[in-house]
Amino acid sequence: MSLLEARGLICHFGGVKAIDGVDFDLEPGEVHALIGSNGAGKSTLVGLLSGRIPVQAGSIRFDGRDITRLPAHARVACGIAYAFQITSVFPRLSVFDNVALAVQRTGARDLRAGTMAALDRVGLAALADRLAGALSYGHQRLLEIAMGLALAPRLLILDEPTQGLAAAEIDSFKALVRSLPATILLIEHNMEVVMDLAGRITVLGNGRVLARGTPAEIRANPVVQAAYLGGRDADA
């Protein structure tokens, strides 16, 4: 059984069909990439799945449970964590305290151990006492991933996670993703990262699914090549 099943999702903004009848599945333990050109509907679809945008039609099930009408905070409690495209750290709190706030939500008995474990996993343990706002943009991205990991999610949604990362940091990020036990939904403009990490890829265009398949199948798909892989900007 799929971990997440979305059927017939619709979300229109005025006359714009941002998501227009999308079916989408995530299998337990997979890394699934979501790609598409500017305005394809990626951010809207992620908003629907995470509960930050209301579903106008269709359904979403997570681990067999209907979560279509659940708000975002309730979906977090179900095991869905979301690292935003734009960093959402608390700049005036320390790196440690940012992650500790997430660990607190899990009811962990040892707050410090849980916090440091998440920071260590993303390579930020040595910066635990630094103010989050003083970090480089790339390190803020990693901090947000640590905050997501601290929730011990079953599904972790990563929205443009390598944006602002140096080449060495991207290599470390890929190693991190491969080590995670959670199902990963990756929204990413860096096609090298997508093709290297994803087991399956879904391509959106004009609010609809253009194609889905393995990296090899997506590379060979003429519709995808014409609409996306020919060099158009993938940022949503």
The pLDDT, as a whole number, for residue 236 is: 41
The pLDDT, as a whole number, for residue 231 is: 46
Element (H, E) at 203: strand 200-205
In one letter, which amino acid is 186?
Answer: L
The verdict on residue 31 lying in a domain is no
Report the domain count for the chain: 1
The pLDDT, as a whole number, for residue 230 is: 57
The pLDDT, as a whole number, for residue 87 is: 61
The pLDDT, as a whole number, for residue 107 is: 86
The verdict on residue 27 lying in a domain is no
Q: Tell me which residue range forms the domain holding 113.
A: 89-152
Cα 208 from Cα 182, distance rounded (Å) = 26
Task: List, for the chain, all residue ranges whose pLDDT scores fall below the cut of 70.
Answer: 84-87, 228-236
Report helix, strand or coil for 16: strand
Report helix, strand or coil for 15: coil
The pLDDT, as a whole number, for residue 229 is: 61
Beta strands across the sheet bearing 16-26: 16-26, 4-13, 57-62, 65-66
Percent helix, strand, coil in the chain, to 5, is 40, 25, 35
The verdict on residue 133 lying in a domain is yes
The pLDDT, as a whole number, for residue 216 is: 96
User: DSSP alpha helices (H): ranges in the chain?
Assistant: 42-50, 72-78, 95-105, 111-121, 137-150, 167-179, 191-197, 215-220, 222-224
The pLDDT, as a whole number, for residue 165 is: 85
The verdict on residue 126 lying in a domain is yes
The verdict on residue 187 lying in a domain is no
The pLDDT, as a whole number, for residue 51 is: 95
The verdict on residue 140 lying in a domain is yes
The pLDDT, as a whole number, for residue 7 is: 98
The verdict on residue 8 lying in a domain is no
- Is pTM beyond 0.75? Reply is yes
The verdict on residue 94 lying in a domain is yes
